[in-house]
Structure 1
């Protein structure tokens, strides 16, 4: 399952989506893509949606569809930019709305914390681009993608293994640097 989060289809993130999809197909996977912007996903809660949250329900058919797709997948790949040192609001809204509390959904709340139910997603890969250099994100900004998104949020959902790949300095990066990143994507062996 690929979750793609970028509004512009000529972005470098879109090129990463194309390369990752090709690589998965060459490795005999059948990738399904959730394109949040193309689907016109609304990441914001309204009052009706919020009232349904604790019952594990929704009035948004995309939410139901996305959660079912995730429950049927072997692994998950996120392709997104890093905006303001973290994931974009659209992707945060996806986590907020799609990850429903309740038995057989994405997680249950216990006395000791959250128990992830998406254990079928054995591995997560997070491909990002950022204006900031990768070292800046890791060592100055607190490494939010790895420490919070992968090691906390995804683990709470039941995904216990994840890797992060970032192309930092995307705004001023050379064609050679971009091609090198795409080459890395093409040579990856995905383990789900």
Structure 2
């Protein structure tokens, strides 16, 4: 199995970076292969330009990095996102990845005169999102409407036909004890150790 990991955090000392290492450790123990799309280090441009929008209509992307990412995604069985939640949403690079790589003609088909979308990356069997935030889970759910669940889990991956979706939401990270953070990391590593 190959796991494509879309990672977005600019600071190497972040808890997201620790999560990435736990995921990679679990994948290594499971005997599977990882492919990390480090959006910050790879200089991914998240901006939808006029050329990108024209390409969206034609369903033929023009961004060479997007095309390269798509080729790598075609080799993966499991897609994982790791990012912090800032101002209740994902950072710009993650949003740009969704906008530009989860693209009609590449990631899904959208027949004319139909609301139904179908996935084209049929090799992907599951999608996992791992996010961190400082907001309490109850507050994020009640006041902010679980924005990531609505935007990514439902508004993107459910919409285009992926049935096997999981969101791991780590909340109040800033105030979490070292022991609690260690427990989170151990559980994540164990989860990826058991990949089948």
Q: After TM superposition, is the score higher than 0.5? A: yes
In structure 2, distance between residues paired with 1:91 and 1:79 = 9
**Count of aligned pairs:** 190
Aligned twin of 1:83: 86
Contact 1:119/1:158 (<8 A) preserved: no
Aligned twin of 1:112: 114
Aligned twin of 2:145: 142
In structure 1, distance between residues paired with 2:50 and 2:59 = 15
Superposition pairs of residues 5-154 of structure 1, within 5 angstroms = 5-102=8-105, 105-110=106-111, 111-113=113-115, 114-154=117-157
CA offset digits 1:113-134 (Å, max 9, x no partner): 2222223211111111101012
CA offset digits 1:105-160 (Å, max 9, x no partner): 21111222222222321111111110101222233321222233112311233321
Unaligned runs of 5+ in 2: none
Greater relative contact order (CA < 8 Å, ≥ 6 in sequence): 2
RMSD: 1.6
In structure 2, distance between residues paired with 1:47 and 1:145 = 27
Contact 2:27/2:195 (<8 A) preserved: no
Unaligned runs of 5+ in 1: none
